[in-house]
Amino acid sequence: MDTGYATLSKQILDGCLSTKPGQRVWINSWDHTLELASDLAMESKKRGLEVLLTVQLEDLWLRSMIEAPLELLDNLPAHIAAALEETQIYVYTLGPRKPIPWDRIPVDRRGSVSVWLDARYDRSRFAEQWAKVARRNKVKMVGIEATLATPERATSMGLDLEEWRRVMFEGCTADPREMASHGRALEPLMGGEGQVHLTTPFGTDFRFRLDKRPYDYSYGLATEEKAERGEVVFLPTGGIEVSAAEDSAEGRIVYDPLIRAGKSQVEDLTFQVAQGRIKQFSARSGKEIFERYLREGSGDENRFSYFGFGLNPKLRHGFTQDDKVLGSTIVGFGHSSAKGGMNGATGQWWASMTKATVTISGQKVMEDGRLLVES
């Protein structure tokens, strides 16, 4: 057994969930993550938890998405709802192992695909009904996103599998208390009003206004508050984000880390923003990728939506978690309703910046990529 799994299992059960003997835990695994699921189940039993372990077969799942009656895909089956009613903790791995072949799934069925089990990200009726039951019963939910680091997905994105996998699983073991210390100090500032000024040595000089929006945070703790909202804690985690006054953004943005879009890359993507919208953009390479994003959207994809900070000290830029890397600053455009914003675009574009200096309402909270606040 991979000893890394034992470390992760303990982190989830003790650090993230703070489990207690007698609690009922449901562990759902894809077929490619059975070793991890087995370790989670064993560690759960050692802690006196009652365990239900289920398995999702990739081939069956995909065939169901393509061939099964649509009413079955769109609704939460009664027996699954009954199991969730009796569950206090739900832990699941993310998949499938291979990238989803969207071209094989009929267009009218794509909205029924639900892999996140979180209504903030999945738009399916299944996810909506699942979240309703989870909220009512205050089920604490943890999704292990590190299991997306598979050979097939690494090949599709041009990533080094072993390095990506190592970074993802190490990121899952970051100390929630350390991340929460920074995040909770930022909460009152980001949830209030006031001007934000963001600069970097790479050319970013960007201003916008906060508007008392609800902040979206994840510090690796499956709290009662998140359970009451039906929200999942995804691992690796570590970040705080908030939507802002969409039309207030002005200035220049330079995304300095390399942006990955599958195997393609965008280098030095630069925006000129006025009245909350991108007026001009350029890139050293990969400009056509952002052009395609704008072209395929509904019209508001160029509108400012949110910003935030990464808080995870064990993650690194260049993989799939740039928004969670400690020291990174994120600015997003497009769809923002999942973060309490007012932008109804169909698409979303975000990327991170490094070595930023940020002031909120005149208070310097970050200098040269180092957070200056903690609780």
365 with 373: CB under 8 angstroms?
Answer: yes
Model-wide pTM > 0.75: yes
Per the listing, tokens 């000024």 go with: 197
- Which CATH fold would you assign to the domain 3-148? Thermophilic metalloprotease-like (3.40.1830)
* Residue-range domain boundaries for the chain: 3-148, 176-216+238-371
Per-residue pLDDT of the chain (375 residues; tens, 9 = 90+): 344 698 999 999 999 999 999 999 999 999 999 999 999 999 999 999 999 999 999 999 999 999 999 999 999 999 999 999 999 999 999 999 999 999 999 999 999 999 999 988 898 999 999 999 999 999 999 999 999 999 999 999 999 999 999 999 999 999 999 999 999 999 999 999 999 999 999 999 999 999 999 999 999 999 999 999 999 999 999 999 999 999 999 999 999 988 887 778 899 999 999 999 999 999 999 999 999 999 998 889 999 999 999 999 999 999 999 999 999 999 999 998 878 888 888 899 999 999 999 999 999 999 999 999 998
Written as one letter, the residue type at 30 is W
Per the listing, tokens 């499956």 go with: 222
Dihedral Cα 148, 152, 158, 162, nearest 10 deg: 60
Per the listing, tokens 């903030």 go with: 120
For residues 244 and 198, what is the distance between their CA atoms, to the nearest angstrom? Answer: 14
